[in-house]
Amino acid sequence: MEDQRILITGGAGFIGSHVVEHMVKSYPNYKIVNLDALTYAGNLENLKSVEGAENYHFVKGDICDAEILKELFEKEKFTGVIHLAAESHVDRSITNPLEFIQTNVLGTVNLMQAAMNAWKDDFEGKRFYHISTDEVYGSLGKEGLFKESTPYDPKSPYSASKAGSDHFVRAYANTYGFPVVISNCSNNYGPRQFPEKLIPLFINNIRHMQPLPVYGDGQYIRDWLHVHDHAKAIDKVYHEGKLGETYNIGGWNEWANIDLIHVLIKEVDAQLGRDSGASESLITFVKDRPGHDKRYAIDAQKIKDDLGWTPDYTFEEGLKETVAWYLENTEWLDHVTSGAYQDYYSKQYASE
């Protein structure tokens, strides 16, 4: 691909900040524009490493704001979009579903419409890459893996809103010939994940000797992938993915929550210089997440076969490095968990 001008949405959040960092550093001849509304989950501290880069520009704005998008597309003449901006936390979707429909469904359609208008039906050399999740496929039993052909069966307001956005993206491709590619990834972990999600929340709570709230019996299963491996997969799909195709991305790395939590406790205790298992007593079984999906697991064979992508990180090294990052960046943790986070936390875990 010749030089690109790429709009990345949601670039000051967890995965988006890694994608921006990766693209800015890997492609100095590209222009990367990061559009982010900086909700509670977005934080410019995440992008300190590229803030002065010549090929990078940040714009604060909402993907639901058609005017901002129109101006931005006119000014920057984007050749591509990598769309990550979203409300991303399942628990928040249970208490506030409308926000998820607004950003994830309406925001995505608004963004595609802005690209359609700017590209004026001339899609040559253009692409719109929509980042989605494995949760759209619903929940697995003990056996089986999500494939690209697995029927959609979303079960939470979050996954329903992501499924809705995926449907609109495919509908735009089918109806208007809009040049799209989609990927659906499993659970990411790594530096800069907002500490409402399992791994950073538990690291922070272990650090403060606070209870570790395990939902239900802790036997729910997730497939974990390091965020750097996801960023590399996104680069591959953006550059080499076939238009109109979907790629599942996963780590071949399934863990029952409770088993992962024991390993995490061991690692955090070791890095904090505590006796092995000292924080085990913090484990607290709490009431389950309503409609909790039992198991997610991705079949990532297609992206491996077609694009030659496989994860670089082993979970052992990834988790060790992740724990070290949070324990070295306590200022970041303290910053993002101050203010509104306290209010969220006390409501979410009220009865514990």
Q: Catalytic positions, please?
A: 134-135, 158
Task: Answer with the entry of ligand NAD, ligand DAU, none that 161 interacts with (C-beta below 5 to 8 A by kind).
Answer: none
Q: Is 188 in the site for ligand NAD (CB under 6 A)?
A: yes
Cα–Cα distance, 8 to 82 (Å, whole number) = 5
- Phi first, then psi: give them for residue 311, nearest 5 degrees: -70, 145
Q: Is 224 in the site for ligand NAD (CB under 6 A)?
A: no
Cα–Cα distance, 310 to 231 (Å, whole number) = 12
Task: Answer with the entry of ligand NAD, ligand DAU, none that 178 interacts with (C-beta below 5 to 8 A by kind).
Answer: none
Binding track, positions 283-322, relative to ligand DAU; x by CB under 6 A:
------x------x--------------------------
Binding track, positions 17-56, relative to ligand DAU; x by CB under 6 A:
----------------------------------------
Q: Is 88 in the site for ligand DAU (CB under 6 A)?
A: yes
Q: Is 254 in the site for ligand DAU (CB under 6 A)?
A: no
Query: Residues 49, 21: contact at Cβ < 8 Å?
Result: yes
Total residues in contact with ligand DAU, by rule CB under 6 A: 19
Query: Residues 166, 130: contact at Cβ < 8 Å?
Result: yes
Q: Is 39 in the site for ligand NAD (CB under 6 A)?
A: yes
Cα–Cα distance, 327 to 267 (Å, whole number) = 11
Q: Is 149 exposed, middle or buried (0-12, 13-18, 19+ CB in 10 A)?
A: exposed
Cβ 229 to ligand NAD, closest distance in Å? 12
Of residues 155 and 197, the one with the C-beta less far from ligand DAU: 197
Cβ 281 to ligand NAD, closest distance in Å? 28
Q: Is 14 in the site for ligand NAD (CB under 6 A)?
A: yes
Chosen residue from 22, 31, 89, 192 binding ligand DAU by CB under 6 A: 89
Distances (CA, A) of 79 to 50, 122, 231, 265, 311: 21, 11, 19, 45, 28
Burial 19-51 (b: 16+ CB within 10 A, else e): bbbbbbeebeebbbbbbbbebbbbbeebbeebe
**Sequential DSSP letters for 199-240:** HHHHHHHHHTT--EEEETTS--EEEEEEHHHHHHHHHHHHHH
Q: Is 138 in the site for ligand NAD (CB under 6 A)?
A: no
Q: Is 204 in the site for ligand NAD (CB under 6 A)?
A: no
Instruction: Tell me which residue has tokens 């010749």.
Output: 2
Q: Which stretch binds ligand NAD (CB under 6 A): 140-148, 185-193, 237-245, 322-330?
A: 185-193
Query: Residues 58, 34: contact at Cβ < 8 Å?
Result: yes
Nearest to 307 by CA among 240, 252, 257, 249: 240
Chosen residue from 112, 201, 203, 233 binding ligand DAU by CB under 6 A: 201
Of residues 4 and 204, the one with the C-beta less far from ligand DAU: 204
Chosen residue from 93, 103, 133, 204 binding ligand DAU by CB under 6 A: 133
Binding track, positions 210-229, relative to ligand DAU; x by CB under 6 A:
---xxx----x-x-------
Could you say which residues in the range 152-181 bind ligand NAD, by CB under 6 A? Answer: 162
Give residues with Cβ within 8 angstroms of 210, minimum separation 6.
Answer: 204, 282
Residue nearest to ligand NAD (CB): 13
**Sequential DSSP letters for 152-212:** P---SHHHHHHHHHHHHHHHHHHHH---EEEEEE-EEESTT--TTSHHHHHHHHHHTT--E
Which residues bind to ligand DAU, rule: CB under 6 A?
Answer: 88-90, 133-135, 186-187, 197-198, 201, 213-215, 220, 222, 257, 289, 296
Which residues bind to ligand NAD, rule: CB under 6 A?
Answer: 9-10, 12-16, 36-39, 41-42, 62-64, 84-88, 103, 107, 131, 133, 162, 185, 187-188, 194
